[in-house]
Amino acid sequence: MISFDNTEIAFTGKTDADLKRAFWLFKIVGNPTLVKFGKWSTNYALKLQLPINDIIKKTIFRQFCGGETIHECEKTIHQLGKYGIGTILDYSIEGKTSEEDFNATVEEIIATIHAAKNNMHIPFAVFKVSGISRFSILEKANDPASNLSELEKIELSLAISRIDKICLAGFENNIPVFIDAEETWIQDTIDRITKDMMRKYNKNRAIVYNTIQMYRHDRIAFLKKEIEDAKMESFYYGVKLVRGAYMEKERERAQLKNYASPIQPNKTACDKDFNEALEIIISEIEHTALCAGSHNEKSALALVDLIEKFAVPKNDKRVYFAQLLGMSDHISYNLSNEGFNVAKYVPYGPVKEVIPYLLRRANENTSVAGQTSRELGLIIKEKERRSSRK
C-alpha cells in the first residue's frame, strides 16, 4: 500500500535550505491576515514602482515557479526528471488584451511544445484560452442568444485560429495539449472549441485535453455525454480533471446576478464527484486519457486503486497524476517512487507578470482547509528526521 507519510522520499530533492524556505512560506500562507497584508503591500509596491522583483523572486516565486523563461526552467525540469517526475510548463501571464500580445503568447506556448519534443521530462503543454483572446468576446459567445457583430465574429474567428495553431503544433510534435477550464460564463465557449479541436486532432490518440472542474455540480453528466459523443464520432477524449479554481468568484456572481449557483453544495459532494469522474474515465480508458490534477490524498489513492481494478499498467501514458510545483511533494514523489506517471505544473514568466498567479495561489492555500497545515507538518517531520541523523 502506497504511503504519503514517507517524508524521506517526499523531500529527497530538497536541501535543508529549501525546506527552511518552504517552512516559512507555508507559515505565512497559513495566516489569512498576513496573506491579505501581503497582497495589499505587493499591489501597493507595484503601483509605486518599487523594486520588489528580487524579493519576490527569491521567496514565493522560487517556491512555486520554475523561472522567468523556458531556459531558466531547465534546472527545475532536470531536478524533477531525476526522480521520474515530468514538468508541465505553464506560461502564467494574465490580463493581456491586444492582438500583438495574444500572438506573442501563442508563440511562447508553441515554444513549450518544441521544448517538450526535445525533452522526455516534459510530457504535456498547457494554455488558457483567455490568455490568447479577449475575455469579453468569449463571454458574449457563451450565450447562444447573443448575436455577434461582424467584427466580433472576426475576432472570435482569430481566437479560434490561435487555438488551432497551438493544437496543430501539439499534433505535429506528438505532444498532448491541455486547454484550461475557466469561469462558467466563458466555459461553454471553451468546451465547444475544445471539442472541435478533439474531433480534428484526436483521431489516433488524445492530443487535445479538455479541463473539467468538479466543483461544478453538472460536470458528471457533462463528462458522460462528452465521452459518449467521442465514442460515437470515433475520437479520443482527453481529460484534465481538477476540483477547480474560481469557486468564490462563481458564488459571488451567481448571488449578484440572482441565478442558481453552479457550485457543489459542499466539499463532500465535490470530492464524491471527483472520484466518480476518475472511475468513469478509467473504465473507458480505451477511448479516453486522464491527467488527474489533485492535491487530495484520498483521490490519489482512489486513482491508484482504479488503475489496479481496471488492470491499467502503472506506466500507461494515458494516465497521469499532477500537482503544482512547490506543493504536495509527499504525493508526487511517493507516487513516482512507486512507478506511476507524475508531473508537476511549473508556472513561469517574468516576475512582475506572474504576480497575479502567485497571489491567487497564496489565496487558495489559505482557503483550502488543512492544506497548509499538512504541508507544514510534513516539512517539520522531515526536518526532525534529518536532525536525528546528524
CATH classification at residue 69: 3.20.20.220
**Would you state the pLDDT for residue 277?**
98
pTM, full prediction: 0.93
**Would you state the pLDDT for residue 351?**
85
What phi and psi, each to the nearest 5 degrees, are found at residue 107?
-65, -35
What does DSSP say about strands 288-293 and 237-242: parallel, antiparallel, or unpaired? parallel
Q: What is the DSSP string of 180-195?
A: ----HHHHHHHHHHHH
What is the number of residues in the chain? 390
Q: Which residues pair with 345 in a beta bridge?
A: 88, 324
**Would you state the pLDDT for residue 280?**
98
Please state, as a whole number, how many other Cβ atoms lie within 10 Å of the Cβ of residue 256: 8
In a domain? residue 150: yes
Give the chain's domain count: 1
Helical residues (DSSP H) of the chain, grouped into ranges: 7-10, 16-29, 32-47, 53-58, 60-64, 70-81, 99-117, 135-142, 150-173, 184-201, 219-233, 247-257, 267-283, 297-309, 329-337, 351-367, 371-389
CA dihedral in degrees (187, 271, 93, 56; nearest 10)? 160
What is the chain's pLDDT, residue by residue, as a tens digit (390 residues)?
A: 788 999 999 999 899 999 988 888 887 766 655 555 455 455 545 555 555 567 778 778 888 899 999 999 999 999 999 999 999 999 988 778 899 999 999 999 999 999 999 999 999 999 999 999 999 999 999 998 889 999 999 999 999 999 999 999 999 999 999 999 999 999 999 999 999 999 999 999 999 999 999 999 999 999 999 999 999 999 999 999 999 878 888 999 999 999 999 999 999 999 999 999 999 999 999 999 999 999 999 999 999 999 999 999 999 999 999 999 988 999 999 999 999 999 999 999 988 788 777 766 666 555 555 677 888 889 999 999 998 876
**Would you state the pLDDT for residue 183?**
95
Q: CB–CB of 64/326 below 8 Å?
A: yes
Q: What is the DSSP string of 90-115?
A: EE------SHHHHHHHHHHHHHHHHH
CA 333 to each of CA 4, 298, 323: distance values in angstroms, whole numbers, following the listed order: 9, 16, 10
In a domain? residue 160: yes
Q: Which residues pair with 234 in a beta bridge?
A: none
Distance CA 273, CA 293 (A): 14
**Would you state the pLDDT for residue 171?**
98
Give the domain extent around 295.
65-365
The single residue listed with the C-alpha cell 503544433 is: 169
| 148 Cβ contact partners less than 8 Å away, ≥ 6 residues apart | 140, 141, 156
Distance CA 296, CA 358 (A): 20
In a domain? residue 32: no
Distance CA 60, CA 365 (A): 13
Please state, as a whole number, how many other Cβ atoms lie within 10 Å of the Cβ of residue 265: 9
In a domain? residue 14: no
In a domain? residue 31: no
Q: CB–CB of 346/90 below 8 Å?
A: yes
What phi and psi, each to the nearest 5 degrees, are found at residue 88?
-110, 105
In a domain? residue 40: no
Buried b (16+ CB within 10 A) or exposed e, 115-146: bbbebebbbbbbbbbbbbbbbebbebbbeeee
In a domain? residue 47: no
In a domain? residue 193: yes
| 51 Cβ contact partners less than 8 Å away, ≥ 6 residues apart | none
Half-sphere exposure of 261 (CA within 13 A, CB side): 15
